[in-house]
Amino acid sequence: MIDRKHHKIVFAFFMALLMSCIMSFVISVFNVGFVSNIIHVWLKAWAFAFIIAFPTITVVAPIVHKLVSLVLKENRDT
């Protein structure tokens, strides 16, 4: 197993993997339809999307965490 200190990078990996998978499939079907080689088209798009998504998530995630902190109210236990 991977040590918990690597949580952020492991999270980014799986988030990028799943989001790029789903989005590349949807966009591939939207652009070319359910053609006979859709699996090949999708896997090629997925590989490219993952290469972009993984470093993007590692850079963008801390910014998103800060934005979320700005828009959420603090919990006050009084």
Segment 17-57, tens digit of pLDDT:
999 999 999 999 999 999 999 999 999 999 999 999 999 99
What does the pLDDT look like over 40-49, one tens digit per residue? 999 999 999 9
Q: Each residue of 51-78: b (16+ CB within 10 Å) or e? A: eebbeebbeeeeeeeeeeeeeeeeeeee
Query: Do 55 and 14 meet the contact criterion of CB atoms below 8 Å apart?
Result: no
- The pTM assigned to this predicted structure is 0.83
Query: Do 25 and 46 meet the contact criterion of CB atoms below 8 Å apart?
Result: yes
